[in-house]
Amino acid sequence: MPDELNSPPDGLIGGYHGHNNTVRILMIVFSSIALYNAIELFILLFLTFQHYRGLYFWALLLSVVLGVIPHTIGYIFEFFSLAPLWVSLTLSTIGFYVMVPGQSVVLYSRLHLVCQNHRVLRFVLWLIIVDAFILLIPTTVLTFSTAYVRTLPFIRGYNVMERTQLAWFCVQEFVISGIYISETVKLLRLMPDKDMRRSKIMYELLAINFIIIILDVALLVVEYIGYYSLQTTMKPMVYSIKLKLEFGVLGKLVSLVHTNRSQPTSNENEEYPGFVDPSQLTSDVTHAPPIESRVPRGMSAWSNISLESVPMSERARLSTHSTDSAQPP
């Protein structure tokens, strides 16, 4: 480990010098998968959303266009010496700035759907902002200093900081995924068994957060066993996979919330005690009061979510439910 800290990572200066063809092939495969996923997600975003606004949409779009794509291309140029070093470093640095914090912002943009604790939401937001400033700026300075100054202190600083920031960002995503997992488990315990669609989406949400943790652990393992070139090309592939999973499941949460606010989840023919005449009921006694009356001031209610962030495939069905619920019996 001391020798590794005293020498620049293989590929950072003058391209990849290793003679392992397997590593070269894996670098190309990882980069190709990352670019494919990014292009596919870019197309899906514009085919799915009718109005291009909102934190969720822009966080996804920027993570793909200014994150995954330039980060991948920058390291391809760098490792295979296809462009001047400053071009490669600039592209990869811009991509890293947007891709890594951007993925956390995507998770944050939908966190309020499962967590109504304003303190927790504010903590996550500040965690993302502070970590970005603490980790990104020193890493950038040390990267360019290692590439152009090449003195031992800068090289050691870069090797230490590169490992530290990777572990730190992984812990940040562990925290956010842990909140999702905890809050989702709470909701599943309160959920009626017969609401199968909601249960399915919640289990999918659990699954993607476990996958996020597994992928982050894999990145850490590859980094700490000394495969810098593999780790840097594997990283955009991992983040492109995570963004696609989040796009597939987090988008469903909005339609799920609107559906459950517009139609009851319990059986309409539910039996009442003999002394209750259902025809005389003027309110729904089987459900809690609307969430607007129970959410503290300043906290967003589920029903306030804009339908503009719902995929078009779900919007027609939600409009039908809203129309039906608005009509008098």
Kindly report, residue by residue over 16-61, the tens digit of the pLDDT: 766 778 888 999 999 999 999 999 999 999 988 888 888 999 999 9
pLDDT at residue 280, rounded to an integer: 45
Domains of the chain with bracketed CATH: 2-260 (1.20.1070)
Indicate the DSSP class of residue 149. T
The 10s digit of each residue's pLDDT in 110-130 is 898 888 899 999 999 999 999
Average pLDDT over residues 258-269: 47
On the question of pLDDT at 175 being above 90, the answer is: yes
Of the pLDDT bands very low, low, confident and very high (cuts 50, 70, 90), residue 172 is: very high
Of the pLDDT bands very low, low, confident and very high (cuts 50, 70, 90), residue 194 is: low
Angle ∠(48,54,57) on CA atoms, nearest 5:
40
Residue 307 or residue 214, greater confidence: 214
pLDDT at residue 193, rounded to an integer: 59
The 10s digit of each residue's pLDDT in 199-255 is 788 888 888 999 999 999 999 998 888 888 888 899 999 999 999 998 888 877 776
Secondary structure element (H or E) that encloses residue 281, with its range: none
Percent of the chain with pLDDT over 90: 39
CB atoms within 10 A of CB 290: 12
Tell me the three state secondary structure of residue 65. helix
Secondary structure element (H or E) that encloses residue 53, with its range: none
What pTM value is reported for the model?
0.75
Of the pLDDT bands very low, low, confident and very high (cuts 50, 70, 90), residue 191 is: low
Please tell me the total number of residues recorded for the chain in this structure: 329
Q: Decide if 244 contacts 41 (C-beta within 8 A).
A: yes
CB atoms within 10 A of CB 48: 16
Encode burial over 152-187: b for 16+ CB neighbours within 10 A, e otherwise. Answer: eebbbbbbebbbebbeebbebbeebbebbbebbeee
Q: At what angle do helices 118-148 and 85-109 cross, to 10 degrees?
A: 170
Structure tokens at 84: 């001047």
Residue whose tokens read 């822009």: 58
pLDDT at residue 264, rounded to an integer: 46
Distance between CA atoms of residues 175 and 98, nearest Å: 19
User: Within 13 A of 194's CA, how many CA atoms are on the CB side?
Assistant: 6
